[in-house]
Amino acid sequence: MQSQVFVFVGLIENKTQRDLDILYQQLQGSDIKKLPINFIRKDDSLSARWENASYYISIIKDKDELKDWVQMAEDFELEGSKEPLDSQKFLAHSNHKKISCPNLYHDQHYIIGKAIFDSLKSFKEMKVYFYN
């Protein structure tokens, strides 16, 4: 059985320590805060849990760091792309997941995922990788 996990990795070459703080503030102030979800920062990542689904978010500056996240996605049997996604590809991936696994997630899970994706894409030159 596939795990209920959303993994987001943002790659930005000129990453600063403040990027994760900014992302955290954006998510805390977004519409998804109407849901009882709390993002927790640990080291260089954010995580949250809502209705049995876990969300993991990291911002990296070197593509070599991506291999650990890809391994985690494989370990949890998650689908994703080895290439960064734009908004259209992200929505296509989400729609495919809704059709192929209709009982895995609720609509609110996808709304949270879209808010995270949009927050990551708000950073200039951010490349976003996604697995779920």
Distances (CA, A) of 28 to 107, 108, 112: 20, 16, 12
> Residue 26 sits in which domain range?
5-131
Terminal CA-CA length for the chain = 13
DSSP one-letter string for 84-99: -B-HHHHHHHHHHHHH
pLDDT at position 97, please?
Answer: 87
Mean pLDDT over 26-55 rounds to 85
CB 110, CB 55: distance < 8 Å = no
pLDDT at position 17, please?
Answer: 66
pLDDT in tens, 64-107: 989 988 888 888 888 888 889 999 999 998 888 888 888 888 88
Q: How many CB atoms lie within 10 A of CB 66?
A: 17
Q: d(Cα 24, Cα 102) in Å, to the nearest integer?
A: 30
pLDDT at position 1, please?
Answer: 52
**Domains in the chain, number:** 1
What average pLDDT does the chain have?
A: 87
53-60 and 5-11: which strand pairing?
Answer: parallel
Nearest to 72 by CA among 10, 1, 5: 5
CB 11, CB 121: distance < 8 Å = no
Give the list of residues 6+ apart from residue 25 with CB closer than 8 angstroms, or none.
none
